[in-house]
């Protein structure tokens, strides 16, 4: 399986959060934990986690991505603080780590009438009034936020819906300071 890095993973996660490409590849190739989230009919999201040792410290690296044939596309990578990762001998599942990052370093997001800090999977009704803006990140002005998630609009006889999966927005500055980037 070939590993490719999407633009958000490369430009923000690797560069701004100081995560090496070789460490991210190692996590995907030799994970300590793997969690597959089935989002049919959209496919699957795979979360990999592994303890990584660098000269000055050890941390859990969490990689989120998706398979497309023989290619695994890395969509995001995060260094997970120890209290979110859980004990070294029994770390939390990767999805719980991702949710922990969103709860601690995230901003609320608003989709239609639904407001949350982390959306695992929701089918959210849409009205004509929110047709121009699908998602709003409730972040202070001038604070960069990394918005991630899978969203797809569905039209049914009952109306329009936005299917949201693994949606969250991380405050880039707060997170970068917390991980020492």
Question: Is the predicted pLDDT of residue 174 greater than 60, yes or no?
Answer: yes
Task: Please indicate, yes or no, if residue 22 is contained in any of the structural domains.
Answer: yes
Q: Is the peptide bond before 41 cis (omega within 30 degrees of 0)?
A: yes
pLDDT digits (tens, 9 = 90+) for 57-109: 788 999 999 988 899 999 999 999 999 999 988 899 999 999 999 999 999 98
Greater pLDDT, 125 or 29? 29
- Are 32 and 19 within one domain? yes
Among residues 100, 125, 149, which one ends one of the domains?
100
Task: Report, as an integer, the average pLDDT of 152-161.
Answer: 81
Place of tokens 């997001």: 109
pLDDT digits (tens, 9 = 90+) for 38-63: 876 667 889 999 998 777 778 899 99
What local confidence, expressed as pLDDT, does residue 105 receive? 96
What local confidence, expressed as pLDDT, does residue 131 receive? 54
Cα separation of 17 and 12, whole Å?
7
- Are 38 and 83 within one domain? yes
CB 74 within 8 A of CB 3: yes
What local confidence, expressed as pLDDT, does residue 159 receive? 80
CB 49 within 8 A of CB 94: yes
Place of tokens 């290619």: 71
Provide the 3-class DSSP secondary structure of residue 70.
Answer: coil
Task: Please indicate, yes or no, if residue 177 is contained in any of the structural domains.
Answer: no
């Amino acid at each position: 399986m070939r590993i490719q890095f999407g633009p958000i993973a490369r430009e923000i996660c690797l560069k701004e959060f100081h995560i090496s490409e070789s460490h991210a590849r190692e996590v995907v190739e030799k994970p300590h934990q793997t969690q597959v989230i089935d989002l049919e009919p959209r496919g699957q999201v795979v979360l990999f986690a592994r303890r990584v040792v660098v000269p000055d410290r050890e941390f859990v690296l969490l990689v989120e991505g998706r398979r497309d044939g023989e290619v695994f596309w890395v969509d995001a990578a995060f260094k997970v603080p120890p209290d979110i990762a859980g004990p070294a001998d029994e770390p939390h599942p990767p999805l719980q780590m991702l949710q922990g990052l969103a709860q601690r370093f995230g901003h609320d997001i608003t989709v239609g009438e639904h407001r949350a800090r982390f959306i695992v999977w929701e089918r959210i009704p849409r009205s004509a009034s929110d047709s121009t803006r699908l998602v709003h990140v409730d972040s202070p002005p001038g604070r960069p936020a990394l918005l991630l998630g899978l969203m797809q609009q569905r039209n049914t006889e009952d109306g329009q819906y936005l299917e949201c999966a693994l949606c969250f927005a991380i405050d880039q500055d707060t997170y970068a300071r917390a991980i020492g980037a």
